[in-house]
Structure 1
Amino acid sequence: MDLTDLIDVKAIMPALKANSKKQLLQLLSERAAAISGIPEREIFETILQRERLGSTGVGNGIAIPHGKIVGVRHITGVFARLETPVDFDALDDQPVDLVFLLLAPEGAGADHLKALSRIARVLRDGDTVAKIRGTHDAAAIHALLSETQASHAA
């Protein structure tokens, strides 16, 4: 499963400004709604509900909020690189500056888990993460996420 199948350049926000976890999730939901056609409020509520179960801040400044939503036709991602990190209640208590929101169809089961695993693997690559943090260009970020695919597949 390639990240390029999950995310389009228009779904990448390379210099997002958010002051809190809640505002960040709202802005991500807004972009996801524009891409998926699912109401923003529905996306936001689903993601917020998932966060109540436990933070999706996985450490090293990275979060992968996710949820399954009726009406989503295929697994879809939205990526944000924040101008200033925000507190996300992450596992390591570090603020978050890279966020990959993942939305999946209600019955996505194993594919949803494969997508989460793929995202986590790509964002564990220190070189890729450093390059993403160093750019404000959506196309460059998309290329970096895609590039990592090839090197991990080899």
Structure 2
Amino acid sequence: MLDLRAIAPHVSGGSKRQILGVIADVAARSYGLEAAVVLDALLERESAGSTGLGHGVAVPHARIPGLSGMKAVFVKLDTPTAFEAVDDQPVDLLLALLAPETGGSEHLRALASVSRRLRQPELRQQLRQARTADAIHALLVREARSTAA
């Protein structure tokens, strides 16, 4: 679900919209999607309520027309940014989930799984210390395998 090319380990902060724009650009490059379509879908979802989970984490998500399966984008911000999170703390770790329009409960299961994993203080600390896309990918893949077991 998370391609190594879809990890951006050093992103400048900015506004919530700018960060979602970065996610859309990474998704476009990594998965051959239209950045504008991804950004519009993410903004529409955010307008329903912030996807900031707290503890510096957000899980933006949206259904994307034409997508054939679940995809993810991970962004680590150099400077935490206001994201209207439930705890009012700025966000620096974002794992965006992109789901097919027709996808049923797979989207909800993935969202629940990612949210549960990113609530773990140790994983958040390790992700913040990771400097490369490879290191971040290894942490997320290892964590996914350990929670599936």
**1:91 maps to which residue?**
86
Letter in 1 for 2:51: T
**Rounded Cα–Cα distance in structure 1 between residues aligned with 2:148 and 2:23:** 29
Letter in 2 for 1:76: K
Structure 1 position 121, deviation (Å) = 1.5
Structure 1: 4+ residue segments shifted above 3 A: none
Structure 1 position 32, deviation (Å) = 0.5
**1:67 maps to which residue?**
62
Structure 1 position 142, deviation (Å) = 0.5
* CA displacement, residues 82-131 of structure 1 (integer Å, 9 cap, x when unaligned): 10000001111000000011111001120000110111121112111101
3-state SS in 1 of match to 2:42: helix
Which one of the candidate residues 45, 49, 52 is aligned to 1:50? 45
Structure 1 position 9, deviation (Å) = 1.1
3-state SS in 2 of match to 1:19: coil
Q: List runs of 5+ in structure 1 lacking aligned partners.
A: 1-5
RMSD, aligned α-carbons: 1.0
Letter in 2 for 1:35: S
**1:3 maps to which residue?**
none
1:1-154 equivalence runs, <5 A? 6-154=1-149
**Rounded Cα–Cα distance in structure 1 between residues aligned with 2:98 and 2:146:** 25
Structure 1 position 36, deviation (Å) = 2.1
TM-score by length of 2: 0.96
3-state SS in 2 of match to 1:103: strand
Task: After superposing the two structures, state which structure 1 stretch, 144-153 or 46-55, moved more.
Answer: 144-153
> Are 1:36 and 1:72, in contact at CA under 8 Å, matched by a contact in 2?
no
Structure 1 position 147, deviation (Å) = 1.2
TM-score by length of 1: 0.93
**Rounded Cα–Cα distance in structure 1 between residues aligned with 2:126 and 2:56:** 14
3-state SS in 2 of match to 1:13: strand
Q: List runs of 5+ in structure 2 lacking aligned partners.
A: none
**Rounded Cα–Cα distance in structure 2 between residues aligned with 1:125 and 1:45:** 30
3-state SS in 2 of match to 1:92: coil
